[in-house]
A and B are shown apart, each in its own frame.
Chain A
Amino acid sequence: RKEVEQDPGPFNVPEGATVAFNCTYSNSASQSFFWYRQDCRKEPKLLMSVYSSGNEDGRFTAQLNRASQYISLLIRDSKLSDSATYLCVVNIRGGAGTALIFGKGTTLSVSS
């Protein structure tokens, strides 16, 4: 089983739609969870951390289910500017420390 798995998409939605992305992770000892956003030919940027109780930032809501080792991201009222690849990120222990492992990303395309 891959460490972090995401549906690659693409998700093609109209402006104003609500869209949800899911992600599963294999390491039950993982403690940190994030969603990053990557625009074409750019570096990934942190979108939001994911907390156990779930958290919201404007139109974005992240949820964590530790029992099922599952993370989700919900985007409400999609904007054209939300078009990007969304990367699910989980920490794992390796060597003498921990590192953040990225999923392959889910591509979102929002059209007018």
Chain B
Amino acid sequence: DTAVSQTPKYLVTQMGNDKSIKCEQNLGHDTMYWYKQDSKKFLKIMFSYNNKELIINETVPNRFSPKSPDKAHLNLHINSLELGDSAVYFCASSQGQGSTNEKLFFGSGTQLSVL
């Protein structure tokens, strides 16, 4: 069983479209995240949710809207896609906050290509 699973693995779409990426974790973790890895391989945090509540939003454009229906799921919806949104998006989870609880477990990533 995959611990953190995200779908789809690949997403190719046109500029201006709206798309969603889904993420689920079966580790019983309280905290989930979205990270973006750009073409220069820099992994940057976008959002963090703890028990369905948004706790970190790192100056991400409001075209990106995370949704956490329960603590095992954190989906990412992106409106009006732009060329610069092309990247690999990683979902991750951790047991909680603070020192030993913060170890991250990542999904396998969603490669988004905006044409």
Chain A complexes with chain B: yes
A interface residues, Cβ below 8 angstroms from B = 31-32, 34, 36, 38, 42-46, 49, 85, 87, 89, 91, 94-102, 104-105
Is B26 close to A, CB under 8 A?
Answer: no
Q: Residue on B with the closest CB to A45?
A: B106
Q: How many residues of B contact A (CB 8 A)?
A: 31
Name A's interface SS: strand
Is B39 close to A, CB under 8 A?
Answer: no
A31→B40 contact, CB < 8 A: no
Q: Residue on B with the closest CB to A46?
A: B103
Chain B nearest Cβ from A21, distance in angstroms: 15
Count, A-B residue pairs, CB within 8 A? 71
Residues of A within 8 A of B40 (CB): 104
B102→A98 contact, CB < 8 A: yes
B interface residues, Cβ below 8 angstroms from A = 31, 33, 35, 40-45, 48, 50, 53-58, 90, 94, 97-100, 102-109
Q: Residue on A with the closest CB to B58?
A: A94
B45→A100 contact, CB < 8 A: yes
Q: When chains A and B are docked, how far (Å) is the Cα of A38 from the Cα of B37? A: 12
Residues of B within 8 A of A38 (CB): 43
A43→B109 contact, CB < 8 A: yes
Q: When chains A and B are docked, how far (Å) is the Cα of A105 from the Cα of B40? A: 10
